[in-house]
Structure 1
Amino acid sequence: MATAWSERVLELLLKLNNLQRAGCLPFCIQGQRVGWVTQPVAQVLAQDSDVFMLYKDSGARLEMSDRLRSTHERTRAVQEVMEALRGRDVFPCLQEWRDELYDVKGLFSDPPLLRMERAATPLLGVPRYGVHVNGFLRRGADVFMWIARRSLTKPSYPGKLDHLAAGGISAGSGVWETLLKECTEEACIPESLASTARAAGTVSYAYRQDDALYLECQFVFDLEVPESFQPRVGDGEVQEFYLWPLDKVKDSIATEDFKPNCALVILDFLLRHGHIQPDAEKFYTKFMENLHAPL
């Protein structure tokens, strides 16, 4: 049984870390690489507009035109290109349009070079950042975790199991700002409790679906809640909450019930808190390696 669990979890990890950069081109702004792009996407973007320039020499890359000097100019130009491609139904990922902008930058701490529609970010392979909150409580030696079930109306992974609170970091927002916002909106967690969450590092992974490249980094937080705490459905993105013993949560991440990246963040929690031991888990080092892919 344990071996089957380990193999299923490793399969999930490798599925979310299947990106091979060989054959992809760097996507650059002002000479700085900020993402990756497939050859077919680069061809379409370079042919359809004067916003992107495709270089095919020894320094092959896709670069934004130097005529776009400011973040505002780049944002407006790229938005127009992506809206046109969406209207022509060229790339499937654009049909998940959210009207939500994400920052594009070199390091997360850098000022943005561009802001672009969330659904379009995989076309340019730029890292996307989010926040995930492990909500848990202790009863003696036993640990329980609060689990959310996503609304059936969510555009992605409807009805799947999720964290107590989680969400992407929109343009102009910070990590703590996003954490407090998602805790309040999704689970009605008071700020006095949400602010006690402890930063626990990141989980990162990179995968490809057709010509879309997903490079994602989740800022992970552990929030220990009191026995009296009860989450409530807030903005409608969640339909229900469950309080599960950690063993049940562990078993469930090896199924298809969980949103895949949430399963990875919970695996990270299990490893960090010693619920998976290196002598007892055959894929321990594989788990660790694939939870922290370089982006």
Structure 2
Amino acid sequence: MANSGWSEKVLQLLRRMNNFYLPGSFRAHCFRFEVDGAQVGWIPPHVAPLLTRYPDVFSPPRGGAVALCPGLDTYGRRSEAVDAVLQTLRQEDFLTCLRGWRDEQYSVMQKFSDPPVMWMERAATSLFGVKRYGVHLNGYTVGEAGEVSMWLARRSNTKQTYPGLLDNVVSPASTHTVRTGVSYLPQVNEADVCLQAAGGLAAGVGIKHTLIKECQEEACIPAAIAERAHPVTTVSYTYEDEEGVFAESQFVFDLELPLDFKPKVGDGEVHDFYLLPIEEVKDLIATEDFKPNCAMVVLDFLIRHSFIEPDTEPHYQDFVAALHQTL
């Protein structure tokens, strides 16, 4: 039977990462963020009053929604107008998320496959609850006796978010961003091994292309190996905190790595890589030592590869449902 203590800790993690859906969240008090009649996010109750100061950019709240003014009818006009508002709010320095300004332009759209309606500074996305996308790689190896291991990365202590925690092979930066015209992604881990890579998708750049690029940059995984990765699922969740609403969806890939391959620290996003037996990795995702959304990606791997089964895990259905929560 499953370890009840482990199961409860994982369930708590999943509830925390989906707390926007739980009773008592501020979801009922959020405003839909609409652009050209389509909802592209959620505006928290503490943010909506600030936007009324800019009537040339945001229409007054009406019918539970805040919309961009109709005159902002192109990608460029919307982006520039909203960015000017955000720059002003940044100077006022009372929205803590804007202190982490990154100069990364994040594409805003209703669905990932839709053309973007505008771009927004990445640090501001939680103020509007726009969906953020990433890509993660489960890099694993299978030993001669059939044993599976996974590479985990230890995030650099200088990372702006979750410094020093365990991570996927390539660690996530959000998807669909552009940084001075350059795209970038997540990080990787090794093992006899499930290697995990995660990271952001640059605007206008394909998911697989981003994965291959980031594998090379962050974990020194050659393109010839990274190209063998195949898409397996998405992991989606929405949580709230004092900085706003975080609606995220991660494209997940699996890659069986050669037994003699070892990822190496590339661009400094990772402190080190570890190759661990899959049972040890399973134990680790229930600890505070693991970056929460990356723990969810590992959990999904464990379920898909039958390391967690419905006959022995009482929360099996809860786990599966919580990994695929969409707005």
TM over 0.5: yes
Cα distance, 1:214 vs structure 2 = 0.2
Q: How does 1:1-295 map to 2 (within 5 A)?
A: 2-20=3-21, 21-48=27-54, 50-56=56-62, 59-139=63-143, 140-165=145-170, 166-295=198-327
1:72 alignment partner, SS class:
helix
1:47 alignment partner, SS class:
coil
Preserved contact between residue 115 and residue 171 of structure 1 (Cα < 8 Å) = no
Structure 2 unaligned spans of 5+: 22-26, 171-197
Matches of 2:275 and 2:54, distance apart in 1 = 51
Matches of 1:29 and 1:249, distance apart in 2 = 42
Cα distance, 1:218 vs structure 2 = 0.3
Cα distance, 1:177 vs structure 2 = 2.0
2:275 alignment partner, SS class:
strand
Aligned-partner residue type, residue 54 of structure 1: P
Preserved contact between residue 40 and residue 211 of structure 1 (Cα < 8 Å) = no
- Calculate the aligned-residue CA RMSD, in Å: 1.2
Aligned-partner residue type, residue 204 of structure 1: S
User: Structure 1, residues 117-136: CA drift from partner, whole Å, max 9, x if none?
Assistant: 11111110110000011111
Preserved contact between residue 37 and residue 123 of structure 1 (Cα < 8 Å) = yes
Inter-CA distance 224–145: structure 2 relative to 1 (3 Å threshold): same
User: Structure 1, residues 35-67: CA drift from partner, whole Å, max 9, x if none?
Assistant: 1112221110122452111233xx221001111
Q: Which stretch shifts more, 31-40 or 218-227?
A: 31-40
Cα distance, 1:23 vs structure 2 = 1.5
Matches of 2:31 and 2:111, distance apart in 1 = 19
Cα distance, 1:73 vs structure 2 = 1.2
1:54 alignment partner, SS class:
coil
Cα distance, 1:293 vs structure 2 = 0.3
Matches of 1:224 and 1:85, distance apart in 2 = 46
User: Structure 1, residues 243-275: CA drift from partner, whole Å, max 9, x if none?
Assistant: 000011000000011110000000000000000
Cα distance, 1:89 vs structure 2 = 1.5
1:39 alignment partner, SS class:
coil
User: Structure 1, residues 91-142: CA drift from partner, whole Å, max 9, x if none?
Assistant: 1111121111111111100110011111111110110000011111001221
Cα distance, 1:211 vs structure 2 = 4.8
Structure 1 unaligned spans of 5+: none
Number of aligned positions between the proteins: 293
1:67 alignment partner, SS class:
coil
**What TM-score comes out, normalization by structure 1 length?**
0.96
Matches of 1:206 and 1:133, distance apart in 2 = 21
Aligned-partner residue type, residue 212 of structure 1: G
Matches of 2:64 and 2:29, distance apart in 1 = 11
Aligned-partner residue type, residue 59 of structure 2: M
User: Structure 1, residues 131-179: CA drift from partner, whole Å, max 9, x if none?
Assistant: 0111110012210001111111100001111111111113222211221
Aligned-partner residue type, residue 146 of structure 1: W
Matches of 1:49 and 1:81, distance apart in 2 = 11
Preserved contact between residue 97 and residue 243 of structure 2 (Cα < 8 Å) = no
